[in-house]
Amino acid sequence: MNHSYLPRIVRDDVLNGAQGGASPVLLVSVRSIQEAQLAADCGAGVIDFKEPSRGPLAPVAESIWKAAVEASFEATLSAALGEADTAIGLAAQVPAGFRFAKVGPSGAHSTAALAELWEQLQLNPDVELVPVAYADHDAAKCINPHQVLDLVIRQHRSRLLIDTFVKDGRGLLDHIGLDELSQLVQRAREANVWIALAGSLCIADMQEIAGQGCLPDCVGVRGDVCKNSVARTHVTMKPNGLSRDATESGLVLGERRMGRLCRARIEAWLATLGQLV
């Protein structure tokens, strides 16, 4: 494929974000090595492993983390660890080779409760915590994104992802206004905090956000690029009485078609972000 119109994404750009004048980096959440390969081939800057059927930040199996490190994708690796109930136990298992670990704040009713959660995460020194704030914080029963950002700044942490807890078709902008989002991004900027936005974002949302002069360091997507994904094909294309051979050949054809759709979507995102500097 022709990558010439895509922004050149190298790992330093991923880590430094738009603060150095670069375009926002694209993070694509995937649930398998197959999807990761597709995202890497397209040029996604961050490949984030999560199992969307089990929650907004649910982890994939540890065997997939290991396979991802072995695959040596040309992208920064990120692992979603879920919320306190899974993240504390899993943190130490995230292999070196991963750079980010996303942890959700649901249930943290106070700043102190969230600080305690972060304190309990025994991450490998090479793996950096990406604290998450939920725009729909009432549903997640936790403190709001301003309070999470306050804590990030107070603890001299480097990163923050604002996402949505409930994936019900509503997106980030259904829960947080553009003015408020701009304030958060601006505050993060001033405090030298790398900030990522996600939450069922589509390209039109991103254009609206950017039109407000609000440029995050990173944009995270899954729903918009993976709604036709290979993984979904497996879910929707059950045997249904077809012979095994016919079913398998249908799956292969379906996977190819869906893979093309995902690829086109990721490329459209990269082209859009590449224009935002």
Ligand X SMILES: O=C[C@H](O)COP(=O)(O)O
Per CB under 6 A, residues contacting ligand X are 27, 29, 48, 50, 163-164, 167, 198-201, 220-224
Locate tokens 């930040």: which residue?
Answer: 57
Structure letter (DSSP) for residue 201: -
Beta bridge partners of 98: 96
Least separation, in Å, of the C-beta of 131 and ligand X? 13
- The SS3 call for residue 219 is strand
d(CA 205, CA 189): 20
Closer to ligand X by Cβ: residue 221 or 230:
221
Token pair of 46, please?
């961050």
Least separation, in Å, of the C-beta of 223 and ligand X? 3
Closer to ligand X by Cβ: residue 37 or 247:
37
Question: Residue with CB nearest ligand X?
Answer: 220
Least separation, in Å, of the C-beta of 34 and ligand X? 17
Q: How many CB atoms lie within 10 A of CB 89?
A: 14
Least separation, in Å, of the C-beta of 219 and ligand X? 9
Closer to ligand X by Cβ: residue 58 or 153:
58
Closer to ligand X by Cβ: residue 159 or 222:
222
Q: Tell me if 269 sits within 8 A of 26, measured CB to CB.
A: yes
d(CA 107, CA 57): 14
Handedness of CA 102, 201, 255, 55 (dihedral sign): positive
Least separation, in Å, of the C-beta of 63 and ligand X? 20
Closer to ligand X by Cβ: residue 117 or 162:
162
Beta bridge partners of 100: 78, 128
Least separation, in Å, of the C-beta of 242 and ligand X? 30
Q: How many CB atoms lie within 10 A of CB 37?
A: 16
Closer to ligand X by Cβ: residue 45 or 223:
223
